[in-house]
């Protein structure tokens, strides 16, 4: 009996100690509060203005994607036209959830009823930019609950302003914004409002924002239920806490019914490797916890993801595990997924984690403040004890002055706390700024680039006007968000045998294909006889089903197999044409025939890679400027080579997108052509550290297959000096252009 009574008392003590969040004491709204609010509002407006400008400019510069701005735009547009969020865009190459060309309800993939009120904004401005603007404004408002929550917990307006900035600068939230549009990105702000209203015990507003958050994605009700359970021990709010749990359970039931009726859930396959169904998955996790930890937590790539989540807040949330536990469902969802994007730390999958990290960071600062206060009190007591002992000992000595001035600590405790809080806030802001630098999400980040709208992107509008609004289209990823207001829009190569139109840009991202498979697919369509060319210029290609087939053009000595080329208008290759004024790093060198002195191609310039320092994680891209000298050039293949400090030669790239459709056999004498490689990395190439030399070589296509690295297969080259004299390099079969230092 005594043991049972002692256990009950111990449990009662533990339970009482969990009551960490009683009703907060209100703070007076003095002038400092309104000044701080003005600073937060100013930062929010600046954040909103920057991202709205930047994101809408990206759309104008064709830097958005079918996945997922095109998908979401079509879904929202279809709500106004059919009442159901409809989707036909699918990556047929690697997705496991592709459906018929007639499409499927968006609810079969994600449960996002928030799209219905979002669709109302399309009555005012029906464009994908509406989604980008609305998403930015909603996310930006999260700075206010971050400020209010920090102010109440830390009892200081100025430190609270720092937490509003921490939220606005957080790279996980900014990366979600940059990843086109996703309804779940709204939860960065909405869940912060839930946490604030939970803490201030404003039940009605808690439920309002909980419903809005749950409407953004199917897993959010699990978080809301956990928020409700969390409030039971830590706030003793029984009715509101259980109310959140019951609301979340009812919502989960509703979404399961609607998802099933819509043909889903199609994304459940991402967790099929863990078991057959939720119960089997839970069983396997519980029975094999060490295996799960080893494969999905401590595995290097997964563990690096956890570091990416925690490092922007300086790992301080680890000091508040009772708050960080609210992020566990999302972290588990990401870590256990078979899709690497979900644990890359680069996309929208982390949006709902940001509010928990902000709250946990605030609580970590509170913990450190408590610890600092305890240490100061302990130090004061120790000082008083030492002073009393000193006075007792000194009283036995002859009096020679006084030490009364050292009998108290300099300054007050509140100043000490303020100094600690300020230092912690500086640490947090430095941590988040360093994380921003690494991801290039803000204007001050080294890798940040402003999108450029050039003549090429402006030309796309002329092609778009040629496509009827009711026609079905299979288009390249960057083109889809500009033509997605239609019932059937596909991501090329999906439906490229049945769509009314095919719209391509060979200079753009070829996702989900790679260069070889992309060019082969385009040629297959052109040679199928089902499509004819409506227009072709500057790399754009618009095909219509039922027009006369283009046939084969005698432009290549190899007229069979993958080297056969379709007849394309001359203007199609204009994306490669440049003038003398556009050439970077001008030089003069000439490649000639192997068996004669006949000049074939001049190298007139090149661009150096950025950054110039090469390592396994750096992506490089080269640009070369060549001029045709002969009226009948053979088919040539350019190679980018690197010779390292040990004298070993490495093939860096032979992938030039323009060559797939505009080979040297189509070049006009005297015209300068810009050849740009695809971005490549040295991650798979072992390069000896030290000074390395980068060169270009030309190889006849007929000999490039097995003899590509055979030096004798390459064309000889001559370099012209600044004085104009031609200097023959003995047996030179490559042209060295630049040198870089390899770490």
pLDDT of 103-113, one tens digit each? 888 998 899 99
Q: What is the distance, to the nearest Å, from the Cα of residue 242 to the centroid of all Cα atoms in its chain?
A: 36
269 Cβ partners below 8 Å, 6+ apart? 96, 97, 338
pLDDT of 124-135, one tens digit each? 999 999 999 999
Taking 90 as the threshold, does the pLDDT of residue 34 lie above it?
Answer: yes
Q: How many separate domains does the chain show?
A: 3
Q: In this predicted structure, what is the pLDDT of residue 225? A: 96
| CB 350 within 8 Å of CB 175 | yes
Q: Specify the CATH number for the domain of residue 712.
A: 2.60.40.770
Taking the C-alpha atoms of residue 719 and residue 710, their distance in angstroms, rounded to an integer, is: 21
The first and second tokens of residue 160, run together, are: 């609270």
Check residues 550 and 419 and name the one with the higher pLDDT: 419
Q: Which of 574, 604, 621 is the last residue of a domain?
A: 574
Domain assignment present for residue 80? The answer is no
Helix, strand, or coil here: 622? Answer: coil
Domain assignment present for residue 433? The answer is no
| CB 323 within 8 Å of CB 317 | yes
Domain assignment present for residue 17? The answer is no
The values of phi and psi at residue 706, to 5°, are -95, -15
| CB 195 within 8 Å of CB 359 | yes
Asked whether residue 337 falls in the same domain as residue 202, the answer is: yes
Taking the C-alpha atoms of residue 501 and residue 473, their distance in angstroms, rounded to an integer, is: 5
The radius of gyration of the chain from alpha carbons, rounded to an integer in Å, stands at: 32
> Which of 675, 556, 569 lies closest to 627 in space, CA to CA?
675
- What does the mean pLDDT of the chain come to? 84
Domain assignment present for residue 146? The answer is yes
Taking the C-alpha atoms of residue 292 and residue 307, their distance in angstroms, rounded to an integer, is: 18
Asked whether residue 582 falls in the same domain as residue 503, the answer is: no
The first and second tokens of residue 22, run together, are: 């009683």
Asked whether residue 560 falls in the same domain as residue 594, the answer is: no
Q: In this predicted structure, what is the pLDDT of residue 208? A: 97
Asked whether residue 120 falls in the same domain as residue 269, the answer is: yes
- Alpha carbon dihedral 361, 367, 371, 376, in 10-degree steps, equals 80
Among 120-124, 247-251, 294-298, 697-701, name the one with the lowest average pLDDT: 697-701
Q: In this predicted structure, what is the pLDDT of residue 1? A: 56
Taking 90 as the threshold, does the pLDDT of residue 35 lie above it?
Answer: yes
Asked whether residue 561 falls in the same domain as residue 616, the answer is: no
Q: In this predicted structure, what is the pLDDT of residue 424? A: 83
What is the residue range of 479's domain?
455-574
Q: Which of 364, 382, 397 is the last residue of a domain?
A: 364
Helix, strand, or coil here: 739? Answer: strand
Q: Read off the pLDDT of each residue in 392-403 and give the average, rounded to a whole number.
A: 44
Question: Does a cis peptide bond (omega within 30 degrees of 0) precede residue 719?
Answer: no
The first and second tokens of residue 209, run together, are: 């924002």
Quote the pTM value: 0.86
Asked whether residue 155 falls in the same domain as residue 301, the answer is: yes
The first and second tokens of residue 312, run together, are: 């922007």
Taking the C-alpha atoms of residue 336 and residue 613, their distance in angstroms, rounded to an integer, is: 36
Domain assignment present for residue 397? The answer is no
> Which of 507, 453, 463 lies closest to 483 in space, CA to CA?
463
Q: In this predicted structure, what is the pLDDT of residue 187? A: 96
pLDDT of 275-324, one tens digit each? 888 888 888 888 888 988 999 999 999 999 999 999 999 999 999 999 99
Q: Which of 345, 364, 383 is the last residue of a domain?
A: 364
Q: In this predicted structure, what is the pLDDT of residue 400? A: 37
Q: In this predicted structure, what is the pLDDT of residue 528? A: 84
Asked whether residue 550 falls in the same domain as residue 599, the answer is: no
Domain assignment present for residue 700? The answer is yes
The first and second tokens of residue 332, run together, are: 């588990």
Asked whether residue 593 falls in the same domain as residue 720, the answer is: yes
pLDDT of 425-478, one tens digit each? 888 888 888 887 777 778 887 778 899 899 999 999 999 999 999 999 999 999
Q: Read off the pLDDT of each residue in 142-164 and give the average, rounded to a whole number.
A: 93
Domain assignment present for residue 342? The answer is yes
Q: In this predicted structure, what is the pLDDT of residue 553? A: 42
Domain assignment present for residue 445? The answer is no
Helix, strand, or coil here: 350? Answer: helix
Asked whether residue 358 falls in the same domain as residue 322, the answer is: yes
Burial class (CB in 10 A: 0-12, 13-18, 19+), 447: exposed
Asked whether residue 569 falls in the same domain as residue 590, the answer is: no
Q: What is the distance, to the nearest Å, from the Cα of residue 604 to the centroid of all Cα atoms in its chain?
A: 37
Asked whether residue 475 falls in the same domain as residue 542, the answer is: yes
Q: In this predicted structure, what is the pLDDT of residue 630? A: 80
Q: In this predicted structure, what is the pLDDT of residue 399? A: 42
Q: In this predicted structure, what is the pLDDT of residue 408? A: 29
Residue 657 DSSP symbol = G
460 Cβ partners below 8 Å, 6+ apart? 62, 479, 482, 505, 540
Q: In this predicted structure, what is the pLDDT of residue 404? A: 30
pLDDT of 344-364, one tens digit each? 888 999 999 999 999 999 999
Q: In this predicted structure, what is the pLDDT of residue 379? A: 65
Asked whether residue 517 falls in the same domain as residue 613, the answer is: no
Q: Give Cα separations from 445 to 57, 282, 309, 432, 473 (angstroms).
A: 18, 42, 18, 11, 38
């Amino acid at each position: 009996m005594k043991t049972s009574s002692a256990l009950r008392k111990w449990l009662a003590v533990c339970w009482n100690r969990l009551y960490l969040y009683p009703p907060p004491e209100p703070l007076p709204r003095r002038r400092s509060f309104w000044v701080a609010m003005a600073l937060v509002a100013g930062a929010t407006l600046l954040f909103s203005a920057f991202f709205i400008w930047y994101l809408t400019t990206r759309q104008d510069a064709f830097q958005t994607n079918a996945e997922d701005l095109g998908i979401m735009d079509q879904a929202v547009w279809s709500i106004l036209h059919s009442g159901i969020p409809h989707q036909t865009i699918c990556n047929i190459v690697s997705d496991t959830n592709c459906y018929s060309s007639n499409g499927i309800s968006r609810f079969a993939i994600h449960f996002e009823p928030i799209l219905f009120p979002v669709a109302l904004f399309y009555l005012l401005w029906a464009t994908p930019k509406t989604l980008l603007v609305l998403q930015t404004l909603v996310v930006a408002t999260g700075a206010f609950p971050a400020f209010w929550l920090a102010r109440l917990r830390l009892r200081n307006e100025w430190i609270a302003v720092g937490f509003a900035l921490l939220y606005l600068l957080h790279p996980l939230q900014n990366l979600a914004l940059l990843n086109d549009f996703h309804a779940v990105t709204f939860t960065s702000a909405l869940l912060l409002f839930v946490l604030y209203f939970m803490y201030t015990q404003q039940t009605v507003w808690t439920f309002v924002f909980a419903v809005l958050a749950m409407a953004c994605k199917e897993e959010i009700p699990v978080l809301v239920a956990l928020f409700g359970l969390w409030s039971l021990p830590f706030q003793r709010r029984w009715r509101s806490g259980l109310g959140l749990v019951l609301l979340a359970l009812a919502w989960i039931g509703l979404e399961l019914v609607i998802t099933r009726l819509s043909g889903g859930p199609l994304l459940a396959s991402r967790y099929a490797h863990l078991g057959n169904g939720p119960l089997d998955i839970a069983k396997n996790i519980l029975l094999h916890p060490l295996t799960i930890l080893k494969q999905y937590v401590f595995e290097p790539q997964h563990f690096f993801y956890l570091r990416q989540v925690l490092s922007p807040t300086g790992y301080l949330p680890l000091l508040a595990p009772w708050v960080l536990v609210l992020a566990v469902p999302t972290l588990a969802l990401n870590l256990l997924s078979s899709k690497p994007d979900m644990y890359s730390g680069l996309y929208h999958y982390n949006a709902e984690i940001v509010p928990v990290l902000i709250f946990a960071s605030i609580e970590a600062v509170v913990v450190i403040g408590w610890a600092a206060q305890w240490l100061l009190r302990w130090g004061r007591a120790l000082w008083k004890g030492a002073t009393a002992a000193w006075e007792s000992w000194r009283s036995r000595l002859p009096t020679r002055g006084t030490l009364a001035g050292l009998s108290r600590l300099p300054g007050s405790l509140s100043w000490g706390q303020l100094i600690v809080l300020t230092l912690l806030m500086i640490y947090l802001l430095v941590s988040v700024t360093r994380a921003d630098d690494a991801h290039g999400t803000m204007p001050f980040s080294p890798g940040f680039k402003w999108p450029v709208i050039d003549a090429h992107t402006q030309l796309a509008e002329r092609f778009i006007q040629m496509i009827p609004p009711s026609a079905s289209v299979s288009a390249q990823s960057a083109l889809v968000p500009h033509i997605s207001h239609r019932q059937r829009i596909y991501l090329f190569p999906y439906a490229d045998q049945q769509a009314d139109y095919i719209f391509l840009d060979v200079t753009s991202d070829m996702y989900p294909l790679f260069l070889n498979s992309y060019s082969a697919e385009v040629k297959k369509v052109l040679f199928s006889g089902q499509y004819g060319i409506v227009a072709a210029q500057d790399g754009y290609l618009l095909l219509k089903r039922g027009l006369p087939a283009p046939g084969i053009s005698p432009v290549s000595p190899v007229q069979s197999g993958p080297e056969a080329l379709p007849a394309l208008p001359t203007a199609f290759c204009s994306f490669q044409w440049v003038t003398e004024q556009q050439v970077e790093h001008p030089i003069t060198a000439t490649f000639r025939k192997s068996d004669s002195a006949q000049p074939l191609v001049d190298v007139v310039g090149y661009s150096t890679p950025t950054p110039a320092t090469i390592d396994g994680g750096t992506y490089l891209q080269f640009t070369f400027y060549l001029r045709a000298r002969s009226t009948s050039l053979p088919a040539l293949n350019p190679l980018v080579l690197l010779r390292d400090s040990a004298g070993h030669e490495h093939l860096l790239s032979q992938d030039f997108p323009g060559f797939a459709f505009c080979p040297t056999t189509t070049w006009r004498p005297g015209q300068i052509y810009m050849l740009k490689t695809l971005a490549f990395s040295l991650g798979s190439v072992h390069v000896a550290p030290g000074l390395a030399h980068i060169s270009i070589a030309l190889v006849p296509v007929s000999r490039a297959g097995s003899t590509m690295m055979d030096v004798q297969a390459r064309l000889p080259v001559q370099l012209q000096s600044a004085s104009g004299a031609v200097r023959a390099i003995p047996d030179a079969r490559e042209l060295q252009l630049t040198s870089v230092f390899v770490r």
